[in-house]
Amino acid sequence: MLTRRDFLEMALKGIVIIGAGNTLQSFSPVGFRLPDREKVRFRFALASDGHYGQPKTTYYESHKKMVKWLNREGRRRGLDFAVINGDIFHDDSRFLPEAKKTWDQLKMTYYVSHGNHDMAPESDWEQTWGIPWHHAFETEDAAFLILNTADVKGKYICPDLGWTEEQLQRYRNKKHLFVFMHITPVKWTEHGIDCPELVDMFSRQQNLRAVFHGHDHIEDGMKEKNGKHYFFDAHIGGSWGTPYTGYRIVELLESGEVLSYQVNPGEDEPVNSTTIPV
């Protein structure tokens, strides 16, 4: 995994990295060059932890900025969809409709996952968003699972293992599988939770390319377990976390590689980048 410092050093030295048919240079303004757009099969964005309605935070302004940034991504390079990966609002379900109205300003299809601060019954959740806490969708040769990691009172829980196993089997013949879940299933962060049975399922799933998390506002990188990649995307809002608010981009390339990089939109440069080989 390349750090922000690595990118800056490469930019200053004018080094070009060439790997597996793709060229990566530095980003704007000094040059992280993405793969040619025609080499990208599909592209999506992840953002999490908006905590809409949290007292003493600038939640309205932070959401307005994130919507603007994601729409800008869509205009510049295209986004097939976005995922808002949990903690959509902050505890009080009266903010749920207002948060929904804000995200409806996105110019692309978007999905949501249920976070521990999203304290609304699943029936209200499904009525608002049109999907339950656990959800699956697919496109061409890829499938996507959204898993729930909290109960209605905010208690951390492991996702429904029976439903998850059923979906993993259902989509086992897809070339690519991606999972979105708010809380990481490995206790390698302060706010993680151990779900060993789920991790075992993931480890055995040959077509699982990546798992994406929110929740840990201070985490914006990648962790690896049993050959599987687990990514974090910092935070949209809230009262703590990385010094910037940002989002993560994922690109599935024609080669079969998966490129994922974390964006600090305030500086318009990548924080880190990971390429998952075929």
User: Is residue 208 situated within a structural domain?
Assistant: yes
- pLDDT of 49: 98
CA 24 to chain CA centroid, Å, is: 22
User: Is residue 240 situated within a structural domain?
Assistant: yes
CA-to-CA distance for 147 and 270, rounded, in angstroms? 27
Domain containing 53 — which CATH number? 3.60.21.10
User: Is residue 94 situated within a structural domain?
Assistant: yes
pLDDT in tens, 18-76: 333 333 333 333 356 789 999 999 999 999 999 999 999 999 999 999 999 999 999 99
Banded model confidence at residue 79, pLDDT cuts 50, 70, 90? very high
pLDDT in tens, 182-225: 999 999 999 999 999 999 999 999 999 999 999 999 999 999 99
Banded model confidence at residue 230, pLDDT cuts 50, 70, 90? very high
- pLDDT of 32: 63
Banded model confidence at residue 156, pLDDT cuts 50, 70, 90? very high
User: Is residue 111 situated within a structural domain?
Assistant: yes
User: Is residue 277 situated within a structural domain?
Assistant: no
Question: Which residues on neighbouring strands pair with residue 228, listed in sequence order?
Answer: 225
- pLDDT of 210: 98
CA-to-CA distance for 253 and 20, rounded, in angstroms? 11
User: Is residue 18 situated within a structural domain?
Assistant: no
CA-to-CA distance for 94 and 266, rounded, in angstroms? 30
CA-to-CA distance for 200 and 55, rounded, in angstroms? 39
- pLDDT of 9: 43
Cα Rg, the chain, nearest whole Å = 18
**What are the C-alpha distances in Å from 158 to residues 86, 172, 186, 226, 245?**
15, 21, 10, 19, 27
User: Is residue 29 situated within a structural domain?
Assistant: no
* 123-127: Cβ within 8 A, 24+ apart: 124/93, 124/96, 125/96
pLDDT in tens, 178-187: 999 999 999 9
What average pLDDT score do residues 226-232 get? 98
- pLDDT of 1: 52
Q: How many domains does the chain have?
A: 1
pLDDT for residue 170 is more than 60: yes
pLDDT for residue 241 is more than 80: yes
Q: Which domain holds residue 246?
A: 41-271
User: Is residue 105 situated within a structural domain?
Assistant: yes
Task: Return all residues near 162 (Cβ < 8 A) that are at least 6 apart.
Answer: none
pLDDT in tens, 93-151: 999 999 999 999 999 999 999 999 999 999 999 999 999 999 999 998 999 999 999 99
- pLDDT of 268: 63
pLDDT in tens, 1-16: 555 444 444 443 332 3
* Peptide bond connecting 29 to the previous residue in cis, omega within 30 degrees of 0: yes
